[in-house]
Amino acid sequence: MNVALAQINYHIGNFSDNCKKIKDAIEKAKEKKADLIVFSELAVCGYPPRDFLDFTDFIDKSYNVLYDISELTDNIAVIIGSPSYNKKVKGKHLFNSAFFIHEKEIKQIVNKTLLPTYDIFDEYRYFEPNDEFNIIDFKGHRIALTICEDLWNIFEDGIYKINPMDELSKLNPDLIINISASPFSYIHDSERERILVANVKKYKIPLVYVNHIGAQTEMLFDGGSMVINSKGVIVEELDYFKEDFRICNIDNISSFFSHHSPSTIKKVSKIEKIHDALVMGLRNYFEKQGFKKAVLGLSGGIDSAVVLVLAERALGKENVLAVLMPSKYSSDHSVSDAIQLAENLGVKYETLNIQDVVDTFENTLQPVFNNLPHNVTEENIQARTRGVLLMGLSNKFGYILLNTSNKSELAVGYGTLYGDMCGGLSVIGDVYKSEVFELANFINKDEEIIPLNTIIKPPSAELRPDQKDSDSLPDYSILDKILYEYIELHQGPREIINSGYEETLVKRILKLVNTNEYKRYQTPPILRVSPKAFGMGRRLPIVAKYLS
């Protein structure tokens, strides 16, 4: 039996475009004599559709696509993900389903059993879990059809009380097919492979796995669809961070290794994965929204430098505008470094001196400020002046403003609301400052694109004379490790202190993180590349008194 794996970049709610891509893949599979083509989880409507699922019209449009593509299944079978109605009176009114379509009919519907409701997932909000287990018989094969999370409860410490494959294995399947929407983080590809191989080795059944590709706002999907034979060997592996299509003969995979080269993601570093994911996320955000051009403030610092390079690679140099906005505190080398970078990339840049505008704001406020001494207020006025100018350019010319704040700054509140924290998309908001330096060095691996001085000079907001980030924050090499333990590893103050960090410093940092939650509620969407990003996957109250 020849099985086609269709790894496609879907667009949530864009039924006509999704349907065309699905149909094109079916026709391609038919030309290549495939017996069965497999698409990913909720492929018809895109993942995650969230509260669009509350609209009957949205579900009906999903069914219309299924009926449309069924006309192409006269001599090929299709497995594809889509929401389906729960016809029972009790329970949620929808299932997250896999449809088996053949001979122009929906022959069988398999519903997802394990509904993740943690981190970025919220499936039990919408779907009823499956409680019936059946096998699909096709072309002499008995297929155990599963949906994403259904294979993830394989180990003893699983979070669910049931393992769907334990139930399906009782029905003597000879092939597992898993359709998935498994999002990217820089550790998730290896974890995903470990889970899938563990299933194959436990049940001694080959596995076909098809994942999403592309970005859905902040959620990024890296692909990596694969076929694993019954010995636990990956014999086919599709590309990462791009659409792909592959056909595999299931009857002949038990003993051979793939003739395809191993996936590049297994050979690349964490930083290269992050780089590729951010470029894809940025490009898809613009393409799917119909945006063309981006603008950002280019300070001469490392954060805006990295974002500018990523934007140029994602959108093309002709679609990016860099804006230099020096004040009386800006150093000459910051301006020259920014100009050098823009020229290295061939990106257009403008220079808008903000000092006159800042002086006007301060003079206007002076009667109310009544000669109070300068403090962070005046620093924030400079940052907000830059935000106003950037948003003016955005409104006038239709640019989307790219936010350049990093994860370390967002964590401790080292940023100005309606100033440097404004924007339409946060590009590196899930990248710690120490990782930003790694990204800059990765970008420069073949040639000096980002000026060396931008990378080696002490980080500074340049909002007061001789200001350095280290005046307000500990060294990033220490700060980022404490933040990682608290945010990604969910370690409390006692555990972090016991791991070797100074008690006063730990308590200060955790207090900064928690008291600045209100700022993060007002940030733009953040491209997610880590196991725990700010935004939809980390939900904490603003008004709280824990560690604050």
Q: How far from the centroid of its chain's Cα atoms is residue 410's Cα? A: 17
Cβ-contact 324, 339 below 8 angstroms: yes
Q: Which two tokens stand for residue 278?
A: 């951010």
**Got the DSSP string for 340-387?**
HHHHHHT-EEEE---HHHHHHHHHHHHHHHTTPPP-HHHHHHHHHHHH
DSSP 107: E
Q: Which residues are catalytic?
A: 41, 112, 148
**Shortest CA distance to 10 belongs to which of 90, 82, 92?**
82
- Give yes or no for a cis peptide into 541 (omega within 30° of 0): no
Question: Rounded to an integer, what distance in angstroms lies between the CA atom of residue 253 and that of residue 257?
Answer: 8
Question: Rounded to an integer, what distance in angstroms lies between the CA atom of residue 368 and that of residue 364?
Answer: 8
**Shortest CA distance to 486 belongs to which of 423, 434, 411?**
411
Per DSSP bridges, beta strands 425-426 and 400-403 are parallel
Question: Rounded to an integer, what distance in angstroms lies between the CA atom of residue 453 and that of residue 446?
Answer: 17
First to last CA, the chain: 60
Q: How far from the centroid of its chain's Cα atoms is residue 214's Cα? A: 9
Task: For residue 37, list its beta bridge partners.
Answer: 4, 78
Q: What is the dihedral of CA 383, 389, 395, 398, to 10 degrees?
A: -90
Cβ-contact 221, 181 below 8 angstroms: yes
**Shortest CA distance to 420 belongs to which of 443, 447, 402?**
402
Query: 480: burial class by Cβ within 10 Å (0-12, 13-18, 19+)?
Result: buried
Q: Tokens 């505190």 identify what position? A: 329
Cβ-contact 452, 436 below 8 angstroms: no
Per DSSP bridges, beta strands 425-426 and 77-85 are unpaired
Question: Rounded to an integer, what distance in angstroms lies between the CA atom of residue 218 and that of residue 87?
Answer: 33
